[in-house]
Each structure stands twice: as structure tokens, then as C-alpha cells.
Amino acid sequence: MDGILFILLSREVSEMEHVRQKPRRVLLWILIVALVLVAAGAGVFLLREWLPNGFDADPYKNPSSGSAASPSSQEATLRDNPIDFAAIRADNEDVCGWITVPDTQIDYPILQSSRDNDDFYLDHNLKGNYDINGSIYIQRINSYDFSDPNTVIYGHNMRNGSMFQNLHHFRDHEFFLSHDTFYIYTPHHILTYRIFAAYRYDNRLILNSFDFSDKEEYQRYLDACLNPASMIRDVREGVSVTTDDRIVTLSTCINDARYRYLVQGVLIDDEETN
């Protein structure tokens, strides 16, 4: 009889212990699921930072126009624009141009937000969807057609080499010397820019800090661009830049949030296209 009671009591204790362990197991599984979700989120972030962002420029290229990176102004008749703006604007009317920097991965549409958020494309892609890669874009303080004295174009410094990360190639002196041109395409023009300077700059908003309509202030700004106050800099000899010129400033971040890296070009050719 005592043996039977002992067995029954042992079973009851075992069942009670099992009941007490259930909440612990549930909490353990909740913790495991939470850790998996956090790890998955971190994995997605790292993949989007390190792997190519999947942007395909080819559907927006005009195959009949020749190489988009090698325009020629010597043709007697207007040629087709290398970019199919009808196709790309069907996807997003905010596209105002296209930039190509030879021998880099920089070959992207340029956007200007039509929304209240001037920096919408800081973290949204061509489709208007949230994307940590963002897009290449200009703010609305700049003209849509790149006709301002200084147009500032922004792009992220992505670890996967996308967006404007490849601007940092110009930190290599030999690369800077051997690559002196970039191109901006608009619906009826090919704009060719001669790169005259590449350097580290502070993080101020350039267009809010200078009045480029004031010739004297613009001249002071150009003087500073041609002699940057930075140890990280390259300036091309023999390139003239005056207040009658239009320049473009390509801007991306560096590891130190106090600074930006700039590559600047002066307009040297404006070719009309169909």
C-alpha cells in the first residue's frame, strides 16, 4: 500500500513539475523566435548594404544611340538620346536626368521629388518604394534641367558599391588623373562635364550656404573649390572655371559624419538629341 501511494505521489509531483516547466518552455520558444526575427532583419540589412541593389539600367537604354558613356558632338544630325526617357518616366515622372561616370558603377537615373519631402529619394528607389539604398537625386532648390550655376547631386556611399560609393575612386590620384569626364542626360540633351576637383568637404548644405546668383560670392566659392582646404583633395591643372560656367557637384558621405566627399565638374559641352 505504501508503495502504491509513493508511486501516485511521484506521478503527481512529476505532473506538477511538468506544468511548471510549460511556461518556461513557452518563454524559451518566444525568445528563440524573437532572436531569429532580429537576426533575419539584421541579415536583410547587411545583404542590402553589401550586395548589389539589383538596379538594371539596360531597360532604359536606347540601343540605337551607341554607348551612353561616349557621346559625340561631331555628328551633323541629331542622334537619339542614349536614355529612353519615355520608358523611365512611365515608371516615375520624378526622373529629371541620368548620370554616367565612366569606369565606375555610377549609371543611374537622377530624381527630384515632387512630394513635400525634398529628401524623399534619400531612402526611396525609382519605384517610390522604401529602400535603404535610396536613389541619386537633386533637391527642389535646384532647377529641373541642370541650368543653375551649381547643381548638387546626392547619393549614398553604399558598401555594396552602388549609388555614389564609386565616387571614392577619385581619391586615388592616378584614377583622378585618368578620368576627367562624366555625363548627364536629359530628355533632349547630353551634358558633358570636365572634372576639375575632388575633395573632402564639411557637411553643410551647399545650396543653403551660398548665393550663387551673386557673382562675387560665386567667384569666392569657385576659388575655394580650386584650392580646397583639405588634405584629401585633387585639382586638375589647366581647367578654367569662371562665374559664367555651370558646374555640377556630386556629393556622398564618408565614414566621418562631419564631412562629405565631393567630385565637381564644369559643363564643357551641351549636345542636343532627338
Burial class (CB within 10 angstroms; exposed 0-12, middle 13-18, buried 19+) of 37: exposed
Among candidates 266, 254, 212, 211, which has minimal Cα distance to 230? Answer: 254
Residues 6+ apart with CB under 8 A from 49: 132, 158, 159, 160
Domain spans, the chain: 51-68+75-272
pLDDT of residue 56: 87
pLDDT of residue 30: 61
**What's the pLDDT at 145?**
97
> Mean per-residue pLDDT for 97-103?
98
The pLDDT tens digits of the residues spanning 37-83 come to 544 444 444 444 444 566 888 899 987 665 555 555 454 589 999 99
Fold of 51-68+75-272: Sortase; Chain: A; (2.40.260)
Task: Give residue for cell 533632349.
Answer: 188
Partners of 170 in beta bridges: none
pLDDT digits (tens, 9 = 90+) for 226-264: 999 999 999 999 999 999 999 999 999 999 999 999 999
Could you tell me if 57 and 106 are in contact, meaning their C-beta atoms sit under 8 angstroms apart?
no
| Cα–Cα distance for residue pair 91/98, rounded to 1 Å | 14
Q: What is the mean pLDDT of the chain?
A: 86
pLDDT at residue number 63: 78
Q: Which of 18-27, 58-67, 208-217, 230-239 comes out lowest in average pLDDT?
A: 18-27
Determine the pLDDT at residue 224. 98
Distance of alpha carbon 178 from alpha carbon 26, whole angstroms = 63
The more confidently predicted of residues 8 and 241 is 241
If 0-12 CB within 10 Å is exposed, 13-18 middle and 19+ buried, where does residue 264 land?
A: buried
